[in-house]
């Protein structure tokens, strides 16, 4: 019985170490609105977003609320075209 408990404990410990390593390896995003310059044509017209635009949107997603709160950027992020682009790129639009 002790051997089974020890093996189970080792399996649980291994799982914790494996999954906690994945949690801590996530990179922090540097919020930089210039990273979204590839999306400017799509934000300001009905142009389709480029692949680069979509990848940058996904990368900068944690920054959207900060951008929306910035009066200089709000007009670009909080408009129907930006919402359309986010939808096309499968990036959820933030609820700040």
The candidate with the shortest Cα–Cα distance to 43, out of 91, 87, 84, is 84
Q: What is the pLDDT of residues 3-45, one digit of tens each?
A: 433 333 333 333 333 333 333 334 578 999 999 999 999 988 9
pTM confidence score: 0.66
Does residue 53 fall inside a structural domain? yes
Q: Count CB atoms within 10 A of the CB of residue 61.
A: 16
Q: Does 67 map to a domain?
A: yes
- Share the mean pLDDT of the chain: 76
Angle at 67 between CA 62 and CA 70, to 5 degrees: 150
pLDDT at 95 (0 to 100): 87
**How many folded domains does the chain comprise?**
1
2 domain residue, yes or no? no
Question: Does some domain include residue 75?
Answer: yes
pLDDT, position 78: 82
Domain that holds residue 38: 33-88
Whole-angstrom distance, CA of residue 44 vs CA of residue 8? 57
Nearest to 41 by CA among 30, 52, 26: 52
């Amino acid at each position: 019985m002790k051997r089974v408990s020890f093996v189970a404990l080792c399996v649980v410990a291994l799982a914790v170490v494996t999954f906690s390593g994945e949690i801590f390896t996530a990179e922090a995003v540097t919020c930089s609105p210039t990273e979204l310059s590839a999306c400017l044509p799509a934000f300001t017209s009905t142009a389709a977003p480029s692949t680069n635009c979509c990848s940058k949107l996904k990368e900068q997603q944690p920054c959207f609320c900060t951008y929306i709160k910035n009066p200089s950027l709000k007009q670009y992020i909080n408009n129907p075209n930006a919402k359309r682009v986010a939808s096309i790129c499968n990036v959820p639009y933030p609820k700040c």
